[in-house]
Amino acid sequence: MAGELQAAVVPLVARILRASIVETPQWLLRPAAPDCGTSWETVCRIYSDITGLTLPEAMPRRETRRVDAVLDIDGKRRILEVDETQHFNHYRALTLRHYPASARVAFPVEAWIAQSAKKVRLEGGGFGKPMPPLFPAEFGRHQQRAFRDMLADLVPLEHQYAPTLRIADFEVATWIYTSEAEMRMRELLDERLG
């Protein structure tokens, strides 16, 4: 369902916002210390809190990651992420609680924390396997996902992007495949983006 939800949400949001979809920028594929700018200290602290390890200044090649979409709206860019159930857990709540007061995002952080707190059991199998070298422990994939979500929220601000827009499965699952989808998405976007 994850791919299906993304496939329904991304083009709908792009159409409503009259945005074109462009490639994930190089500085977000594997952000190193210079790419993180003033957020580097926060990024390192969050990584350490998640893993107990020290983050290297350059991400290993294996850590390359693309976001769900980069929207270009009249020259202004914004990351769009569609968060399914595996994005919500105590690791994600931990990252969100560490965001500095100056961090701007286009989603309700407290709602994301509350949804993360509801999860009492992490998904297993491929959703939770170790992901060395940065996330070598059990549940490494959950740690990696939470860390990457944090990077997609904080690093774009260092590059003059608009705040990252996140849309969660729990917000849209009941209507995204109905005839109300466009109207409901417009309402959600009006609420998020003003």
Residue 149 has pLDDT above 60, yes or no: yes
**CA distance to 84, 103, 117, 118, per residue, from 1 (Å):** 9, 31, 22, 20
Residue 77 has pLDDT above 90, yes or no: yes
Pairwise CA distance, residues 152 & 41, whole Å: 16
Q: What local confidence, expressed as pLDDT, does residue 99 receive?
A: 97
Any idea what DSSP says for residue 18?
Answer: T
Query: What digits encode the pLDDT tens for the residues 99-146?
Result: 999 999 999 999 999 999 998 888 877 778 999 999 999 999 999 999
For the chain, the domains span 2-193
Residue 25 main-chain phi, psi, to 5 deg: -65, 150
Q: What local confidence, expressed as pLDDT, does residue 57 receive?
A: 95
Residue 180 has pLDDT above 90, yes or no: yes
